[in-house]
Amino acid sequence: MPEPASLTIHLLCMHDKDRAAYLAACARLGGPPPFAASLTLHSGALSQLPASVRLDAIVSPANSYGRLDGAFDDAISRALAPADDYHALTRAAQAVLYAEHRGWANPGSCTRVPVPPFPPPSRPTRNVWGVRHLLLCPTMRVPESVAWDKEIVYRNPEEFGALEVDRILTLDGEIQATYEANLPKNDEPQQKTAETALHQ
């Protein structure tokens, strides 16, 4: 049986409510997920993340087709693609999706996409963190609300254990509506908690 993952996770929370939701879930579940060796919370946008933070991978909560041009995926493309070729990372992601999944990754899956070197004459990227991989973890088939899906945010992290990365960055705000919908209210019976969903 493979050893459990031991990841250093950097969680990027763009809004105070995102941070509060994560901390409330941790308090309810007894701490960070078991695959996290350490977890650091950061406030602000990706462009504000200090260059001193070292990352092996960034998690993209994108769509099944690997289009990296909206919300957090837009920030990822602006950071990791060459300044003169915005869609370069989308093309790299879609090439892997076509090779491994016939162009479409199931929501809840995780596909590792190597970040290409983008040699000259491309203009340099803004990859100051040393990111080598994009973890494409679709939370939806196409851009839409996924608040109805009560388990999608728990299926993606289970995939991390099979990846050869140690330090990852994920964004809480992109999946916040789904996450909040899954937090049991104090007056509701807890038929299926986040902890049981995570371990299924």
Confidence grade of residue 4 (pLDDT, cut at 50, 70, 90): low
> What's the whole-model pTM score?
0.70
Angle at 122 between CA 119 and CA 86, to 5 degrees: 120
* Tokens 């050869």 -> residue: 164
* Peptide bond preceding 82 in cis form (omega within 30 of 0): no
Say if 89 falls within a structural domain. Answer: yes
192 occurs within a structural domain: no
Lowest mean pLDDT among 35-39, 112-116, 133-137: 35-39
Query: Is 143 a residue whose pLDDT tops 70?
Result: no
Does residue 156 carry a pLDDT above 80? no
Higher pLDDT, 34 or 58: 58
Tell how far CA 154 is from the center of its chain.
11
How many C-beta atoms surround the C-beta of residue 123 within 10 A? 11
Question: Does residue 191 fall inside a structural domain?
Answer: no
Q: Examine residue 193 and state whether it is found in any structural domain, yes or no.
A: no
Q: Phi/psi of residue 167, each to 5°?
A: -125, 125
Q: Is position 189 within any domain?
A: no
What CA–CA distance (Å, rounded) separates 17 from 19? 5
Kindly state the average pLDDT of the residues 178-199: 40
Structural domain contains residue 48 = yes
Domain with residue 97: its CATH number is: 3.40.220.10
- The answer as to whether 167 is a domain residue is yes
Residue pLDDT, tens place only, 45-89 = 999 999 999 999 999 987 888 888 888 899 999 999 998 999 999
How much is the pLDDT for 150?
Answer: 52
| Count of structural domains, the chain | 1
What would the mean pLDDT of 14-23 be, rounded to a whole number? Answer: 87
| Radius of gyration for the alpha carbons in the chain, expressed in angstroms and rounded | 17
Q: Which domain holds residue 139?
A: 7-182
Whether 90 and 77 have beta carbons less than 8 Å apart is answered as yes
pLDDT(145) > 60:
no
